[in-house]
Amino acid sequence: MDHTTPLLHGGSARPAADASRPQKKARTRPSWVYPFKGIYYFARHRFLWPLLRGRLIPCLLLSVFVFTILFVFTYLPQVAFLAIFYQLHALAFINAVFVVLAEGSAITALLFEAFLVDETQVDVFDSVLINEGLLHLVSPAREILSEEPTPLRKLGKPLSKAQYAPFSFRQICEFVVFLPINLIPFVGTPIFLVLTGYRAGPLLHSRYFHLLGLKRRQQRRYVRGKKWSYTWFGTVALMLQLVPVLSMFFLLTTAAGAALWAADLSKREEEAQTEATGPTDRNDG
pLDDT confidence bin for 116, thresholds 50/70/90: low
Tell me the average pLDDT across 50-59: 77
**pLDDT tens per residue, range 62-71:** 888 889 999 9
Mean pLDDT across the stretch 222-247? 90
Band (256; pLDDT cuts 50, 70, 90): very high
Residue range 135-144: mean pLDDT, rounded: 93
- Asked if residue 276 has pLDDT above 80, the reply is no
209 with 222: CB under 8 angstroms? yes
- Is a pLDDT exceeding 90 seen at residue 174? no
Q: How many CB atoms lie within 10 A of CB 237?
A: 27
Average pLDDT over residues 71-85: 88
Distance CA 273, CA 27 (A): 15
Q: What is the mean pLDDT of residues 127-131?
A: 96
- Closest to 192 measured CA to CA, from 175, 167, 171: 175
> By the 8 A CB rule, do 196 and 182 touch?
no
Of 19 and 142, the one with more pLDDT = 142
What long-range pairs does 39-43 form, CB within 8 A, spacing at least 24? Answer: 39/250, 39/253, 39/256, 39/257, 41/128, 41/253, 41/256, 41/257, 41/260, 42/124, 42/252, 42/253, 42/256
Cα distance between residue 141 and residue 129, in whole Å: 13
Confidence (pLDDT) at 32 = 95
How high is the pLDDT of residue 89? 76
Mean pLDDT of the chain: 82
